[in-house]
A and B are shown apart, each in its own frame.
Chain A
Amino acid sequence: MCKQLVWLLLLPLWVGCTHQKHMDDENSVYYWRTEWRLDSTERAFLTQYHINKVYCRYFDVVLNDDNQPMPNATIAFTEKVPQDLELVPTVFITENCMHQRHEGLARKLVERIVQMDETNDIPKVQEIQIDCDYTGRSRQTYYDFLSEVRQEAEKHHLRLSTTIRLHQLSMSAPPVDYGVLMLYNTGDPQKFQERNPILDLRDVQPYLRYLSDYPLPLAAAYPVFLWQRDIYGVRVEHVVEADEILQVKAAVEKKRSALRHTILLYHLDHDNINRYNHETFESVYRH
């Protein structure tokens, strides 16, 4: 009786902790170009920071003129993927694709990924990731779509993850194995003179309260990219200071310690690697 009581008392604690399980200590990185080709700096970076897993954008899915979702900007594998590297095929889907259900889309998407792996001799693929900036309007359709993708992926023994943007933390969790919390593109691009639109702790802070109870295992992705854009024909460049990244990392890990396990950077690129020093990368990848 006493034992049962102890279990009953511990049960809520156990339930509360399940969503923080299953994430391994792991360093990863996104690859977000249209051609797979690594230079020596990028290869050295993977080795130096023990990165064995790369979330590689395979293609986007966009609506065509007939309102049908189609692949776009498919990556070209112009060189072989190293045998010791695990790729996570990642597909970005525009939000308007999820304004209505598209019959057969999940099957086509998974089959295309599997075929891309086979044609290009991609080794060790074990999971896929879907990236979509879903909103209240598209959430239910997107979640139904993810359920279908998950079923299709299971046929090929693949796990499924999705990206989670900060504003999506207030919604119910998607039906996937885990999420990657995107800690970038948090600000208002119009107010770039006041706050960094890529990342600013002040923009992250209102969402921290959702972190501890979010019912899905989460990895964390931090930005190391340069955002160049033309505003009225003039070049504007945004880049996040290393301190800001580390402050955000500390803040989110304080609310949810499991976020220190699986850490990704967005994204692998020669220039991004040279933008920050070794100490910064060491600190971001600290578990």
Chain B
Amino acid sequence: MKRLNRFIAISLVLACCQSAFACLWIETHNYYLFHVYNSEEFSTRVNNITKDNWKAYLGSTEEYYYFNADEVRKYAQSKGDALMASYVTNLEKYLDCASAVSSDTWNYPTKEELAQRRQVLTAVRQYALSKLSSRLRSQHALLFMRCNMLLGNHAENVSFWEARSSNFIETVYKDMMKNIYAGALLKTGNSVKAGQLFAEMGDWNSLMTQYYEKRSYQAIRAEYQRDANSAVLPFLLQDFINNAQEAYDGNEPGKQFIRDISKQEAHQMIQLAGQVVKDGRSRVPALWMSAKAWLEYMFDSRSQALADINEAVTLDGNEWMKNCARVLKLYISASEKPINAQFDQYLAGELQWLNQMKQEDIFFGNALDRTIHQVLADKYAMNQRPKTSQALLGFLNETDAQYENGLDTMEVSRLEQFLDYLKRPDVSPLDKLLASRITVDQTKMNDLVGTKYLRICRWAEAAKWLQQVPVSFYNKASYAVYAANRSFRVEPWMKRQWLKSDMEYSSEEQHMTTNPKLDFANEMMTLESRLPKLKGNDYQQACYDLAARYAQVSFSGDCWFIMRNGKSIYDKVRNNETDLNKEAVRLLCKAVNTSDKKLKERVLFALSYEYINPDTWYKSEWDSNLAEYRIIPQPDSWHYKALAALADFERDNNAVSPYVSRCDNFATFRKQYK
């Protein structure tokens, strides 16, 4: 047993666990449900259009087109388009300067390069200015404004837009000029107008930069009073509601925090939203009524929320606001309405709608995720429809962690019923929809059912399923490297089967020749069938051998992959799983009566192995006076008694084997054991 330094290592392991906690990601599904504008940002939109324009000019049909100045210039020259060729040459000069300004390239500019960059920008600016009456005046005007932006000539950009380029025809270049103009307004102190323009253009990143410090109920009320149909209001309102949702989602008692949105502020917003709808001055009452309903759901009356969201879906608003109201109606209805045939029918329709809409914007997929995870799955499970509950998660995504965990941990008979349900769903339109969208990988299911039988130690039934799984399945499994390089025959208390990091992190495919789970099932059947025929030391040796295998495939053993797909320090015995370490202890207790002293020493050593003991022989307490941890022995613990038995044996026999004397945990124990 490699237990050197274990005792000291324990505290390190504990400390390492802490850093591992930082990496532990617990999916909360707390997606925002209030989303009233397109997620596509202004910059993405204009980039896509300009790419399409270049493609059209070049006659390109490439799906993933990237602007290449040289390619465009050569094409323009071949067509005799000198103006385009010179434009592209100057555009390239500007783009080179702009990318260098970001300064996150390996070639950091020299002083000379910086001075030269300014010279280049000034020259390109002059060139662009000279072409404002040309056929490509919009492109050149944009180039002129871009150079000004980098040179810091913001006031000039304001006057240029207002006097000239605002009168140009509508193109994507004009949109980009308008965006630069809005930025120039902000830089020169006209923030109200800049905000309106950013909002109209859907430049949410710029709006967030501008309004970051000014997001509150007070700000929204002031903006509404200034202009009931201000373009900034949907942005501010969405930001407010989402922050309120953050406070709601994290609403746990005893937290040491300052709330971004307090309940009081949320109530003020409920009042304001109601007042706005009553006033009738807003052209988008659906926006305000949805906001009111969602805040009520989170912080006030859920029945009022249901009434208000039902009204919101009938009110005016743009397409996004109406869709948002529909999403909220689904969530609130799912939470508040009873499950019956009518609700099943409604839900089937809404699930189909969301499933279709999620192709258009990630918001709808996220809303579906939250509604199923936070409301529907539990609701159907509690209404005696566990198969529908499980299928809802699968409908969401067949790689959904909760869906996979459900399949992985449910009782084996329930899994067989669920697989049957997918083939022959219940009559409900909802069940039919769900079953029609979930596919079953039969090999994966054969492995899963077989593994479930392994977990409850029914080896023969396990073997029946596992023999249908080809070894290639295990060679591709995420745990293949462990399965290929570890053996369940090794006694875990004698040797840890660490893998070298090169091997552990290698992406090479493994080449096992036999099914490791089937091998284990067959071995256990053979060993256990022999047991009743054995007596004396042979029987005790067989018990010891079996115990080693049980411990090795337990969650704390090195061959955990026989029973589960992954390993975590938080692992423990799960539902529908035999406590394999307990089984190992039971067998070791039978083996301990052996008259073979060598075997007895091994058995006692195994019994003192900390990973098969539910509690350790000591507790460590922080001593603030000494500024270190103190060890407090726990003589009543099982582990303590096991170590004491080993110590007594070693004392009485006066012949400690090297594997025992090397164990620092035992040595530490001995120091305090009289």
Could you list which residues of chain A lie within 8 angstroms of chain B, going by C-beta atoms? 59, 70-74, 76, 99, 108, 111-112, 115-116, 118-119, 136-137, 167, 170, 187-193, 201-203, 205-209, 230-237, 247, 251
Contacts A115-B110, A119-B111; A234 near B22 (Cβ below 8 A): no
Partner of A233, one of B11, B14, B16, B245: B245
Interface membership of B353, Cβ < 8 A: no
Report yes or no: A188 in contact with B258, Cβ–Cβ below 8 A.
no
Which parts of B13-34 form the interface with A (CB within 8 Å)?
14-16, 18-19, 21-22, 24, 28, 30
Segment among B88-96, B98-106, B407-415 that sits at the interface with chain A: B98-106
Interface membership of B531, Cβ < 8 A: no
Partner of B627, one of A76, A190, A247: A247
Q: Which residues of A contact B628 (CB under 8 A)?
A: 205, 208
> How far apart are the CA atoms of A205 and B630 in the complex, in Å?
12
Instruction: Select from chain B the residue with minimum beta-carbon distance to A166.
Output: B15
Instruction: Select from chain A the residue with minimum beta-carbon distance to B12.
Output: A206
Report yes or no: B106 in contact with A119, Cβ–Cβ below 8 A.
no
Q: Which residues of B contact A111 (CB under 8 A)?
A: 106
A-B contact count (CB 8 A): 111
Partner of B106, one of A71, A167, A205, A235: A71
Instruction: Select from chain B the residue with minimum beta-carbon distance to A208.
Output: B628
Q: How far is the CB of B449 from chain A (nearest CB, A)?
A: 35
Size of the B side of the interface (Cβ < 8 Å), in residues, is 45
Interface membership of B254, Cβ < 8 A: yes
Interface membership of B152, Cβ < 8 A: no
Report yes or no: A108 in contact with B106, Cβ–Cβ below 8 A.
yes
Report yes or no: A233 in contact with B21, Cβ–Cβ below 8 A.
no
> How far apart are the CA atoms of A73 and B11 in the complex, in Å?
37
| B103-145 contact mask (Cβ, 8 Å, vs A): 1 or 0 | 1111111110010000000000000000000000000000000
Interface membership of B250, Cβ < 8 A: yes
Report yes or no: B256 in contact with A193, Cβ–Cβ below 8 A.
yes
Contacts A137-B505, A234-B260; A71 near B250 (Cβ below 8 A): no
Q: Which residues of A contact B168 (CB under 8 A)?
A: none
Could you list which residues of chain B lie within 8 angstroms of chain A, going by C-beta atoms? 8, 11-12, 14-16, 18-19, 21-22, 24, 28, 30, 103-111, 114, 243, 245-247, 249-252, 254-261, 501, 505, 622, 627-629
Report yes or no: B104 in contact with A115, Cβ–Cβ below 8 A.
no
Instruction: Select from chain B the residue with minimum beta-carbon distance to A190.
Output: B21
Interface-centre pick from B105, B106, B246 (highest chain A CB count, 10 A): B106
> How far apart are the CA atoms of A112 and B106 in the complex, in Å?
6
Q: How far is the CB of A262 from chain B (nearest CB, A)?
A: 23
Q: How far is the CB of B336 from chain A (nearest CB, A)?
A: 23
> How far apart are the CA atoms of A231 and B15 in the complex, in Å?
23
Instruction: Select from chain B the residue with minimum beta-carbon distance to A73.
Output: B104
Instruction: Select from chain A the residue with minimum beta-carbon distance to B15.
Output: A206
Report yes or no: B247 in contact with A207, Cβ–Cβ below 8 A.
no
Report yes or no: B627 in contact with A201, Cβ–Cβ below 8 A.
yes
Instruction: Select from chain A the residue with minimum beta-carbon distance to B250.
Output: A232
Report yes or no: B105 in contact with A71, Cβ–Cβ below 8 A.
yes
Report yes or no: B15 in contact with A235, Cβ–Cβ below 8 A.
no
Q: Which residues of A contact B104 (CB under 8 A)?
A: 59, 70-74
Contacts A232-B250, A233-B245, A233-B247; A251 near B24 (Cβ below 8 A): no
Q: Which residues of B contact A189 (CB under 8 A)?
A: 21-22
Contacts A233-B243, A233-B260; A167 near B15 (Cβ below 8 A): yes
Report yes or no: A234 in contact with B106, Cβ–Cβ below 8 A.
no
Q: Which residues of B contact A74 (CB under 8 A)?
A: 103-104, 108
Instruction: Select from chain B the residue with minimum beta-carbon distance to A170.
Output: B12
Report yes or no: B106 in contact with A190, Cβ–Cβ below 8 A.
no
Contacts A119-B110, A167-B15, A251-B627; A236 near B21 (Cβ below 8 A): no
Nearest 7 Cβ contacts at the A-B interface: A233-B246, A232-B250, A188-B18, A234-B257, A206-B11, A115-B108, A188-B21
Interface-centre pick from A59, A70, A71, A209 (highest chain B CB count, 10 A): A71
Partner of B249, one of A59, A70, A72, A232: A232
Interface-centre pick from A108, A189, A233 (highest chain B CB count, 10 A): A233
> How far apart are the CA atoms of A83 and B622 in the complex, in Å?
48
Report yes or no: B246 in contact with A234, Cβ–Cβ below 8 A.
yes
> How far apart are the CA atoms of A116 and B114 in the complex, in Å?
12
Q: How far is the CB of A192 from chain B (nearest CB, A)?
A: 8
> How far apart are the CA atoms of A37 and B107 in the complex, in Å?
23
Q: How far is the CB of A6 from chain B (nearest CB, A)?
A: 34
Partner of B110, one of A73, A118, A206: A118
Report yes or no: A76 in contact with B103, Cβ–Cβ below 8 A.
yes
> How far apart are the CA atoms of A167 and B22 in the complex, in Å?
14
Report yes or no: B11 in contact with A234, Cβ–Cβ below 8 A.
no
Q: Which residues of B contact A192 (CB under 8 A)?
A: 256
Q: Which residues of B contact A137 (CB under 8 A)?
A: 501, 505
Instruction: Select from chain B the residue with minimum beta-carbon distance to A71.
Output: B104
Q: How far is the CB of B239 from chain A (nearest CB, A)?
A: 11
In the assembled complex, 19 residue pairs joining A and B whose CB atoms fall closer than 8 Å, in A order, are A71-B105, A74-B104, A74-B108, A112-B107, A112-B108, A118-B111, A119-B111, A187-B18, A188-B18, A188-B22, A203-B15, A205-B628, A206-B15, A231-B257, A232-B250, A233-B246, A234-B255, A235-B257, A247-B627
